[in-house]
A = this chain, B = another copy of it.
Amino acid sequence: MTAAFFERLGERIERIDSVVSVGLDADPDRIPEHLRERDLPQWAFNRRIIDATHEYAACYKPNAAFYESSEGWRSLRETVAYAHGKDVPVLLDAKRADIGNTTRQYANLLDEVDAITVNPYLGRDSLQPFLTRADKGVFVLCRTSNPGGADLQDLELASGEPVYERVAALADLWNEHGNVGLVVGATAPEELADLRKQVPDIPFLVPGVGAQGGDAEAAVEHGLADGVGLVNSSRGIIFAGEDRGESFAGAAGAAAKRLRTRLNQYRSDG
């Protein structure tokens, strides 16, 4: 896997006809009872989810928050290897950023995964060790889908634009290796449309289409750049079978397939 990330992602999207990102937010408190006695319950859970969903998954997106423990990191490593075994790239939703030698350390996370999300607040040098990994994807948080996203991101600058548009412009500037994407929530469809016009070539990761109730049509219409981009659902897929006991994974597979169908209505080349 030495080709550029977005090239590999584009090939996978075409092959399985899907822009679905499956969020592996394996909350230990929501894993089915019968798996909780396992050595690594999150890994046991993720393995079954991957078996049931990989045909519809353009990528897997584990959120690092759910793996911040000794057992969690072991589960995450197993999960990444298993996803790769199914030929599915892994985007670690880490939202990291720090400075100097510390952010170089964070960038080592890219040794194991194919792409990562990062936070722009600390500026270019905080992201440089990620950006220089030309074969990996780097998704910069731009306009997030939560209510408080407006607190900073929507502030109007003296230049007239909101902060998040400046972040998009900076990300475009930092995109020397063609490996930069943006995270833009589906809960703000007009902002998605405006950003797509501003940076026509940058693929978006669009979260918020599942449990958060975002706009699937806008996500597809504006999230993709030349057909490449990702629309994520986490809980809406992996916990779709929460009340089904041992057959939870089948419901997750069905939910992933349904989301693919729903999104493909809006894909011009789908």
Q: Of B74, B95, B98, B144, which is within 8 A of A63 by CB?
A: B98
Given contacts A65-B103, A70-B73, A106-B68, contact A146 B125 (CB under 8 A): yes
Q: Is A121's CB under 8 angstroms from B153's CB?
A: yes
Interface membership of A268, Cβ < 8 A: no
Given contacts A123-B148, A153-B121, contact A70 B68 (CB under 8 A): no
Residues of B within 8 A of A97 (CB): 95, 119
Q: A94 to chain B: closest CB distance in Å?
A: 9
Q: Is A152's CB under 8 angstroms from B27's CB?
A: no
CB closest residue in chain B, given A72:
B73
Within 8 A of B (CB), among A168-223: 170, 212
Interface membership of A100, Cβ < 8 A: yes
Given contacts A66-B105, A73-B68, contact A151 B124 (CB under 8 A): yes
Interface membership of A53, Cβ < 8 A: no
28 of the cross-chain contacts (CB-CB < 8 Å) are A25-B101, A27-B101, A65-B98, A65-B103, A66-B102, A68-B73, A68-B105, A69-B73, A70-B70, A70-B73, A73-B73, A95-B97, A99-B144, A100-B146, A120-B151, A120-B152, A121-B121, A122-B149, A122-B152, A123-B148, A123-B151, A124-B151, A125-B146, A126-B144, A151-B170, A155-B166, A157-B157, A158-B160
Given contacts A73-B68, A98-B63, contact A152 B167 (CB under 8 A): yes
